[in-house]
Amino acid sequence: MQIRYFAWVREKVGIEEETLDLPGNITTVADLIAYLKTVDDNHAAAFEEEDAIRVALDQMHVEADAELGAAREVAFFPPMTGG
């Protein structure tokens, strides 16, 4: 699965994107976030305040309880503000 990081999430993780082969027990966005927290200290820091992170599956905004299903891309980013 292609994982993309934007804004301060990218800064904390230290990379813009990565491709991961996820364990079979990772079925929801929440599962993925819990898994990413275990990857390394950078990922743990990026997802420390997971309520402040927004998620998109294949460029569609979803909630943490969303099923990953056949999604090919997950994007994590902070809330956006308009102006």
Per-residue pLDDT reduced to its tens digit, 5-35: 999 999 999 999 999 999 999 999 999 999 9
Strand partners, 55: 62, 76
Q: What is the pLDDT of residue 39?
A: 95
Which positions ≥6 away from 16 have C-beta within 8 Å?
4, 5, 10
Question: CA-to-CA distance for 79 and 50, rounded, in angstroms?
Answer: 11
* CB burial of residue 10 (10 Å; 0-12, 13-18, 19+): middle
- Residue type (1 letter), 79: P
Q: What is the pLDDT of residue 21?
A: 92
Q: Calculate what percentage of the chain has a pLDDT beyond 90.
A: 89
Question: CA-to-CA distance for 10 and 24, rounded, in angstroms?
Answer: 25
The average confidence (pLDDT) of the chain is 94
> Is pLDDT above 60 for 82?
no
The superfamily (CATH) of domain 2-77 is: Beta-grasp domain (3.10.20.30)
